[in-house]
C-alpha cells in the first residue's frame, strides 16, 4: 500500500510540474506577443515623429541639455523608442539566462544584447528595435514550421485502442484500463485487437502478429497454454487470456520504459545559430574593444583628441555586426527546408533534426515493415501438379504462407475433404481419397513421409507429401522487399552515406540474405529491442552520427537512442512515429535519401547566408576602422545591416524552389 501511495504522490507531483510548465509557457507567449506588438507600435510611431522633426532629426545625447528638445516631436520619438526597446531587451535577457542554464553561456541573445545596447548608446534607436523584433519573427517562423510538422505527425498516429475486455465471474464482459487488471484476471481478445498485458491462453486458438514486438515477419500460431505478450495483435479468432503480469511489468511497458529512458538520455541539442554565436559573439566584442583601445591609445589617451571617435567607431562595429541578418535568414532557411519537406511527405521535427541529418553518414534499418512489406511470395518453381495440390490444401488456411502459395497458383482448386490444421506445424487434407500433408519437414517425418529432400535456404520452406507415402515437392516462400528498397540504398550511397546497416528480430539467415540483396554494409538478425539499442549505442561511441529507420513499437527505443530517428508513417506504429525526428508519411523508401539531400541543401543555404553576412559585415567594419566613411559611418552602418539582411533573406527563400531528385518507382523487388 505504501508503494502505491508513493506512486500516486509521484503522479500528482508530475501533473503539477506539467501544469506549472504549461502556465509558464502561456505567460511567456503573452509577454512575447505584448512586447512584439508594443515594439512595432513604438517603432512605427517613433519613426514618423522623428522624420517630421527637422531640428532633431539626427539624435545625439547632447540634445538632452537643450530644453527645447523636451517640447519637440523627437523627444516623443525618443520616449517611444525607449518604451518599445526595454520590454524587448528584458525578453532577450530572459532568453539568454535560460540558454545559460543549459550551459550555453555565449549565445545568439548575448550578441543581440551587446549589439542593441551599443546601437542605443549611439542613438540608433530604430536599429535596436529592428534587431529584436526580427529575432522574435525568426523564432516564430521556426516554431511554426516545427509545430506544423508535429501536427501533421499527430494525424498519422492511428493507434489501436489499448484496453481490456474483462471477463467477470458471471461471464459478462466489461471494458477496463490495462492498469486496472490483476494477476489471474481473465480477458477476452478479439480479432484485430492488441493484447494489453502478458498472459497465457486458457480458451481458443488463433494467430498473432508479433512484428511490432520482436520484428518477426511471420504470424505465430497460438493455442491453449501458449504464453502471449502485450503489444501482439490477434489476427484470427477470439481467445481468452489469463493475466500473468500486471501492466507495469508487461512486455509492452518494458519497451515503453526503454523509450522513456532514451527520451531522458537524449540531451537537448544545440541550435545552429547558438553554436555559431559561441564564436561570432566574442570575436565581434574583442574587435570592437580593440578598435576602441587602439584608437584611444593612439590619441595619447585623450578623450577629446580621439577617445570619443574611437568609442564611436567601436559602437559602429557592434552596430554593423548586429545579427539581424542571421536571426531572420537562418530561421527562414530552416522554415523553408521543413516546409519543402512537408510538401514532399517528409515531416521534420525542427532545425536540429535537419542539421544532424545533413551530417549523418551511418544509416541503420529495421527489416520487417521497413524494408520488407510483410507480404510473402513463392520464389521457387514447383511443378504445376504439386502446386495445384498444395494450393488446394492451403486455400483452406488464412496463414500468410498459405496465401503466398495460393497467389502463385492461377488454376482451379481441387476439392479437399477432412481438412485439419495443426498450429505451428502444417495442414492435412484428402484429395481424391489420398491424404496429403504440407508444412514443416518434421511434420512430414512424424506422418511417415519418406524420401524427403531437404532444402537449404534462409527463407521459409514448406514440404508437400503423402501421409505414409512419398515426398512430392518443396516450396520456398520469402517476404517481399518494398518498392524502391534497392534504389533507396543506392541513392543513399550517392549522398555519401558510408554505412548501411540492417538490424532485425527476424532470423539471422533471412536478414543476411536481405542485406546481400540490398547491398548493405552489415546485416544482423535475431535481435531483441535492447540488443538493437546496444548496437546503436556502440556505433555512437565512435562519435558517428547514426540515423535509425524503423516502424514498430520495438523500434521506438532505437529511434530515440539514435541521433536521428526516421519512421515510416504509413505503416508505422504510433510509438515509433512519436519517438522519431523525421517521419516519412507514406511507404516510399526513396524519401529517405530525398530527406538527406534536402537536409544537405538546407544547411548549404544556411552556411551561404552566414558567409555572405560575415563577408559584407567585415567589409563595412574595415571601412569604419580605416576612417574611409568618416562622419557617414553611422548611417552607412545602419543601412548596411538592413541591406545585408535583405540579401540573406533572399538567399534563404531560394530554398523554396527546391526540386526533388529521387522519384518513386512502382516495381516490387523480389
**Of 32-36, 265-269, 336-340, 646-650, where does mean pLDDT reach its minimum?**
265-269
Q: pLDDT grade, residue 599 (50/70/90)?
A: very high
Of 15-24, 113-122, 464-473, highest mean pLDDT: 464-473
**Cell triple for 63:** 540634445
Contacts 24+ apart (CB under 8 A), 536-544: 536/364, 536/503, 536/561, 536/562, 537/561, 539/362, 539/364, 539/499, 544/361, 544/362, 544/499
Answer positive or negative: Cα dihedral of 547, 550, 552, 554: negative
Cα separation, 624 vs 616, in Å, equals 13
What local confidence, expressed as pLDDT, does residue 642 receive? 63
Cα separation, 15 vs 2, in Å, equals 20
Q: How many CA atoms lie within 13 A of 372 on its CB side?
A: 26
Cα separation, 323 vs 313, in Å, equals 18
What single string gives the DSSP state of each residue in 567-635?
EETTT--HHHHHH-SEEESSS-TTHHHHHHHHHHHHHHHHHHHHHHHHHHHHHHHHHHHTTSSGGGHHH
Q: pLDDT grade, residue 212 (50/70/90)?
A: low
Who contacts 161 (Cβ-Cβ below 8 Å, separation ≥6)?
Answer: none
The pLDDT tens digits for 517-574 are 999 999 998 887 788 888 998 888 877 899 999 876 667 788 888 999 898 865 555 6
Q: What mean pLDDT comes out for the span 574-596? A: 82
The model scores a pTM over 0.85: no
Q: What mean pLDDT comes out for the span 481-501? A: 92
Give percent of the chain with pLDDT exceeding 90: 29
What local confidence, expressed as pLDDT, does residue 185 receive? 93
The pLDDT tens digits for 35-89 are 999 999 999 999 899 888 877 767 778 888 888 889 899 899 999 999 999 999 9
Radius of gyration of the chain (CA): 34
Give percent of the chain with pLDDT exceeding 70: 82
**375-481 under CATH 3.30.9.10, yes or no:** no
What local confidence, expressed as pLDDT, does residue 154 receive? 45
What local confidence, expressed as pLDDT, does residue 635 receive? 57
The pLDDT tens digits for 357-366 are 999 999 999 8
Distances (CA, A) of 446 to 18, 356, 442, 465: 61, 56, 6, 12
Beta-carbon count within 10 A of 141 CB: 19
pLDDT higher than threshold 90 for residue 478? no
Cα separation, 451 vs 441, in Å, equals 11
pLDDT higher than threshold 90 for residue 393? yes
What local confidence, expressed as pLDDT, does residue 634 receive? 53
**Of 39-53, 421-435, 466-480, 559-573, where does mean pLDDT reach its minimum?**
559-573
What local confidence, expressed as pLDDT, does residue 11 receive? 47
More confident residue, 278 or 341: 341
Cα separation, 382 vs 408, in Å, equals 10
Q: pLDDT grade, residue 183 (50/70/90)?
A: very high
pLDDT higher than threshold 70 for residue 155? no
More confident residue, 664 or 425: 425
366 is catalytic: yes
Cα separation, 558 vs 584, in Å, equals 17
pLDDT higher than threshold 50 for residue 6? no
What local confidence, expressed as pLDDT, does residue 88 receive? 94
Cα separation, 368 vs 554, in Å, equals 11
Q: What mean pLDDT comes out for the span 254-272? A: 54
Would you say 132 and 88 are in contact if contact means Cβ atoms under 8 Å apart? yes
Q: What mean pLDDT comes out for the span 153-157? A: 43
More confident residue, 224 or 270: 224
Backbone angles phi, psi at 173, to 5 degrees: -115, 130
What local confidence, expressed as pLDDT, does residue 213 receive? 61
**Of 47-51, 121-125, 273-277, where does mean pLDDT reach its minimum?**
273-277
Q: Which of 366, 408, 483, 563 is catalytic?
A: 366
More confident residue, 229 or 452: 452
Q: How many CA atoms lie within 13 A of 475 on its CB side?
A: 32
Cα 510 from chain centroid?
A: 29
pLDDT higher than threshold 60 for residue 398? yes
Who contacts 130 (Cβ-Cβ below 8 Å, separation ≥6)?
Answer: 43, 324, 642
**Cell triple for 251:** 512486455
Average pLDDT score, the chain: 81
The pLDDT tens digits for 649-658 are 888 888 888 9
What local confidence, expressed as pLDDT, does residue 3 receive? 42
Amino acid at each position: 500500500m505504501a508503494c502505491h501511495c508513493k506512486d500516486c504522490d509521484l503522479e500528482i507531483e508530475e501533473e503539477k510540474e506539467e501544469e506549472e510548465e504549461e502556465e509558464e509557457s502561456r505567460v511567456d507567449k503573452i509577454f512575447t506577443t505584448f512586447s512584439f506588438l508594443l515594439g512595432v507600435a513604438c517603432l512605427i510611431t517613433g519613426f514618423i515623429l522623428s522624420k517630421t522633426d527637422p531640428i532633431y532629426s539626427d539624435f545625439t545625447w547632447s540634445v538632452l541639455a537643450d530644453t527645447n528638445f523636451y517640447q519637440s516631436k523627437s523627444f516623443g520619438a525618443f520616449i517611444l523608442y525607449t518604451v518599445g526597446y526595454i520590454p524587448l531587451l528584458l525578453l532577450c535577457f530572459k532568453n539568454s539566462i535560460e540558454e545559460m542554464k543549459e550551459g550555453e553561456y555565449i549565445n545568439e541573445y548575448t550578441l543581440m544584447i551587446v549589439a542593441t545596447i551599443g546601437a542605443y548608446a549611439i542613438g540608433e534607436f530604430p536599429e535596436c528595435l529592428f534587431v529584436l523584433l526580427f529575432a522574435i519573427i525568426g523564432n516564430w517562423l521556426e516554431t511554426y514550421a516545427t509545430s506544423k510538422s508535429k501536427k501533421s505527425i499527430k494525424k498519422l498516429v492511428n493507434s489501436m485502442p489499448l484496453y481490456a475486455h474483462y471477463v467477470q465471474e458471471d461471464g459478462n464482459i466489461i471494458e477496463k484500463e490495462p492498469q486496472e487488471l490483476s494477476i489471474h484476471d481473465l480477458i477476452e481478445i478479439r480479432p484485430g485487437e492488441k493484447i494489453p498485458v502478458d498472459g497465457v491462453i486458457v480458451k481458443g486458438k488463433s494467430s498473432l502478429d508479433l512484428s511490432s514486438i520482436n520484428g518477426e515477419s511471420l504470424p505465430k500460431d497460438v493455442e491453449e497454454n501458449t504464453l502471449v505478450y502485450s503489444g501482439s495483435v490477434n489476427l484470427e479468432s477470439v481467445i481468452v487470456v489469463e493475466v500473468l503480469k500486471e501492466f507495469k511489468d508487461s512486455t509492452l511497458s518494458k519497451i515503453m520504459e526503454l523509450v522513456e529512458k532514451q527520451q531522458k538520455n537524449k540531451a537537448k541539442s544545440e541550435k545552429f545559430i547558438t553554436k555559431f554565436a559561441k564564436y561570432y559573439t566574442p570575436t565581434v566584442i574583442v574587435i570592437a574593444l580593440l578598435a576602441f583601445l587602439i584608437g584611444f591609445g593612439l590619441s595619447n589617451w585623450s578623450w577629446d583628441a580621439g577617445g570619443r571617435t574611437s568609442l564611436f567607431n567601436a559602437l559602429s562595429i557592434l552596430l554593423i555586426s548586429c545579427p539581424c541578418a542571421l536571426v531572420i535568414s537562418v530561421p527562414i532557411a530552416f522554415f523553408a527546408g521543413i516546409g519543402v519537406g512537408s510538401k514532399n511527405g517528409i515531416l521534420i521535427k525542427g532545425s536540429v533534426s535537419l542539421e544532424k541529418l545533413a551530417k549523418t553518414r551511418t544509416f541503420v534499418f529495421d527489416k520487417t515493415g521497413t524494408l520488407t512489406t510483410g507480404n510473402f511470395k513463392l520464389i521457387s518453381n514447383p511443378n504445376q501438379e504439386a502446386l495445384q495440390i498444395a494450393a488446394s490444401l492451403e486455400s483452406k488456411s488464412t496463414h500468410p504462407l498459405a496465401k503466398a502459395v495460393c497467389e502463385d497458383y492461377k488454376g482451379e482448386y481441387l476439392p479437399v475433404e477432412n481438412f485439419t490444421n495443426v498450429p505451428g506445424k502444417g495442414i492435412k487434407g484428402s484429395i481424391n481419397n489420398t491424404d496429403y500433408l504440407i508444412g514443416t519437414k518434421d511434420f512430414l517425418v512424424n506422418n511417415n513421409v519418406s524420401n524427403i529432400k531437404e532444402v537449404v535456404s534462409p527463407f521459409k520452406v514448406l514440404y508437400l507429401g503423402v501421409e505414409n507415402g512419398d515426398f512430392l515437392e518443396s516450396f520456398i516462400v520469402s517476404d517481399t522487399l518494398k518498392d524502391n528498397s534497392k534504389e533507396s540504398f543506392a541513392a543513399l550511397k550517392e549522398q555519401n552515406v558510408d554505412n548501411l546497416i540492417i538490424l532485425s528480430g527476424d532470423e539471422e539467415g533471412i536478414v543476411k540474405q536481405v542485406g546481400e540483396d540490398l547491398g548493405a554494409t552489415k546485416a544482423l538478425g535475431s535481435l531483441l529491442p535492447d540488443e538493437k539499442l546496444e548496437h546503436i549505442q556502440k556505433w555512437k561511441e565512435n562519435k558517428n552520427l547514426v540515423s535509425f529507420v524503423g516502424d514498430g513499437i520495438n523500434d521506438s527505443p532505437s529511434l530515440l537512442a539514435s541521433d536521428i530517428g526516421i519512421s515510416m508513417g504509413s505503416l508505422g506504429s504510433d510509438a515509433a512515429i512519436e519517438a522519431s525526428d523525421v517521419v516519412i508519411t507514406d511507404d516510399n523508401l526513396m524519401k529517405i535519401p530525398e530527406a538527406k539531400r534536402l537536409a544537405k541543401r538546407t544547411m548549404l543555404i544556411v552556411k551561404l547566408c552566414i558567409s555572405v553576412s560575415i563577408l559584407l559585415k567585415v567589409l563595412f567594419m574595415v571601412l569604419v576602422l580605416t576612417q574611409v566613411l568618416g562622419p557617414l559611418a553611422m548611417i552607412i552602418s545602419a543601412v548596411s545591416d538592413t541591406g545585408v539582411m535583405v540579401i540573406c533573406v533572399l538567399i534563404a527563400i531560394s530554398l523554396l524552389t527546391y526540386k526533388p531528385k529521387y522519384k518513386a518507382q512502382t516495381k516490387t523487388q523480389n
